[in-house]
Amino acid sequence: MPSSITYPGNIILTGFMGTGKSVVGKRLAALLGRNFLDTDTIIEQGSGKSVAAIFSQEGEQCFRGYEKEVCRELSETRGFVIATGGGMLLDPENRKLLSRNGIIIRLDASIPTILHRTQRHQHRPLLNCEDSEQRIKSLLAGRSAAYASLPFHVDTTGMEPDETAHRALNIVRDVDGSSQFIPVKTHDRGGYTIVLGPEMLRTAGTMLRDRGISSKCMVVTDDVVADKYLQILLGSLKASGFNPEACIIRSGEPSKNLSEVQKLYEAFLKYGLDRSGAVIALGGGVVGDLAGFAAATYMRGVHLVQCPTTLLAMVDSSVGGKTGVDLPQGKNLVGAFKQPLITIADTACLQTLPHKEFLMGMAESIKHAVIRDPELFEHFEKANPNDSGVESIAQSIRVKVDTVEQDPFESGLRETLNLGHTVGHALEKCSNYSLLHGEAVSIGLVAAARLSSETGLCEQTVSQRVEALLERVGLPVRHTMDPQELVVAMTSDKKTRDGQIRFVLIRSIGEVQYGCSVASGVLLHVLSELRV
C-alpha cells in the first residue's frame, strides 16, 4: 500500500450500473495493494445463483435482503476495495452500515454512456425491457436523492478505468486515517453525509465536484474565521473549477438577525447566485444558522453546504437542518428547516479554537450523552477534560443524527434535544447574551437535573453526576440572574405550549422525558438554589 494512504477502512465504489464500479474497483485495488470484493459476486457465491436468476426466481425484494446481509458482514471488515450493486446503497441502513468502516465514492456517467456500456452485457435484470434508455432515466430519477447523499462523486463519462481509478486514489489520499463518515437520512429517503476529520476543508472542492452545482458558490463566514480558514476553503473550491466569492459578517450572536439576512440576499444578487449555485456556511453556529436561513429562503431555496469550525457547531447546530435568526423577543423565533448537500467538519479547526469556545461544544456533547449515550457520558467522566478526539465527536453527532432521523420536524422525540435549553435560553436572554450559549446550556442542564431529582423522576445521584461532570470540564453550574425574571423569559420560549413552560427532564443517564411540566414553586426553588 502506498505510504501516502493513511485511511485504513474500506473504499466502497457505488453508483448506477454501467458506471464502471467493478473494473475501476479492480484497478484501484491493484494500485493500493488491497483485496477487491464485488457484492454481487459475494451474493452469487452465497446463494449459488446468478443475480439475474435471483431476480427472476425470488424477486427483487429477496435480492435486497441478500444485499443487507452482505452489508452487515462487510461493516465488520476493513482494508478492502468494494464494488456494490447499483441499488445497494439506496437503503439508508446500508449506507450507515458501510460508512461505519468505509469511505463511499459514487461513480456516475451520462445516460448515453450508461446505455452504451450496458448494451454490451445481457445480464442486467432491471434493463430487461423494450426501452432501455427510458428505463435508465426512470431508475436514475428514483435513485437521485440517495446517490446525492454520498460524500464523493466522480463522473466517469469519457474517462478510461485507469483515469477513474487514479481520481478515486487521489480522493482517498486526501482523507486522514481517523476520519469518520456519518450518513444522515432525510424524510425523502435521500439525505447527506457528515464528513468529520482533520484537514477536510482542503478536500471541500473535491466533495462538491460532479454534483451538478454551478461554479457559483458564495461562502458566508465571519471576520474571525475568515482570517484563519477562508483562503483554505476558497483555494480548494477554485482548484476544483468553482468561482467562489465570500461574504464576511461580524462574529457573534448579534449578527443573527433579519437585517443581516437582507444583506446576504443583496450580496447573493450582486454576485449572480441562482438556484443552481450554493451557499457555503463556514464558521460556528451563528454563521450556520444565518447562512442556512438565507439559503433556505433566497429564491425559495438554493443548495447549502455546512462547514462548521467550532465543536458546538459540529456536534449540534450544523446537524438536523434547523436554521434561523433571532428577534428582540427571543432566540430562533424566525427560521426554516434546510438540509445541506453535505456537512464538512474539519477537526483541524479545533486546534485554533479558544478554550472557552471548546467548552461550549462540550456542554452540548455532555447533553447528548445524558440523552442517549451512557457510555459516552462515562467516557467523559474518565477522559481528559479537553478531549476532542474524532471518535468522541462522532459519537456525540450520532446521538443527534439518530434523534433527528426519527423526528425531522420536531414533532415529538426531537424535543429531547432541548434538554437544558428551556432554562438556558432564558439565561442567555436575561444576560443580554453576555452569557455564551454553552455556558447557559451547562447551567440549564444542572437545573434540569435538579428539577428531575426534585420531582422524583431520577435519583439524586444522577443529578450529582451531571453537575460534577460539567464542573470537571470547566463549565459553569451557577448563575447570577433574578429567578423571577428567568421564569418570565421562559414563557416567551418557542417550546412553551398554551402558556405552559415545557421541560425535558432526566430519568437516568441515557434516558430523558420530554413535554414535562413543573410546578412554579419547584422551578423557582431550583433557580434560587443555583443563584450565587
For the annotated catalytic residues, the residue numbers are 300, 322, 364, 400, 410, 414, 418, 421, 425, 437
What are the two backbone dihedrals, phi and then psi, of residue 463, each rounded to the nearest 5 degrees?
A: -60, -40
Does 407 count as an annotated binding residue?
A: no
Contact 458, 395 (CB under 8 A): no
Does 40 count as an annotated binding residue?
A: yes
Q: How far is CA 457 from the centre of its chain?
A: 32
The Cβ of residue 440 has, within 10 Å, a number of other Cβ atoms equal to 26
Q: Which three cell numbers stand for residue 280?
A: 457555503
The Cβ-side half-sphere exposure at 442, using a 13 Å CA radius, reads 25
Does 58 count as an annotated binding residue?
A: no
**DSSP conformation class of 531:** B
Nearest to 518 by CA among 508, 495, 239: 495
Does 217 count as an annotated binding residue?
A: no
Does 23 count as an annotated binding residue?
A: yes
Does 64 count as an annotated binding residue?
A: yes
Does 429 count as an annotated binding residue?
A: no
Q: What is the 3-state secondary structure (H, E, C) of 16-42?
A: CCCCCHHHHHHHHHHHHCCCEEEHHHH
Does 403 count as an annotated binding residue?
A: no
Does 352 count as an annotated binding residue?
A: yes
Does 282 count as an annotated binding residue?
A: no
Does 79 count as an annotated binding residue?
A: no
Nearest to 319 by CA among 214, 235, 399: 399
Does 124 count as an annotated binding residue?
A: yes
Does 156 count as an annotated binding residue?
A: no
Contact 325, 334 (CB under 8 A): yes
Contact 367, 443 (CB under 8 A): no
Q: Which three cell numbers stand for residue 358?
A: 471548546
Does 133 count as an annotated binding residue?
A: no
List Cα–Cα distances, 320 to 129, 186, 404, 407, in angstroms. 40, 9, 6, 10
Does 286 count as an annotated binding residue?
A: yes
Does 350 count as an annotated binding residue?
A: yes
Q: Residue 62, SS3?
A: helix
Taken in order 469, 471, 475, 478, is the CA torsion positive or negative? positive
Does 186 count as an annotated binding residue?
A: no
Determine whether 59 is exposed, middle or buried from the number of CB atoms within 10 Å of its CB (0-12, 13-18, 19+).
Answer: exposed
Query: Which amino acid belongs to residue 374?
Result: P
Binding-site residue positions for Mg(2+): 22
Binding-site residue positions: 18-23, 40, 64, 86, 124, 143, 251-256, 285-289, 309-310, 322, 331, 349-352, 364, 421, 437
Binding-site residue positions for ATP: 18-23, 124
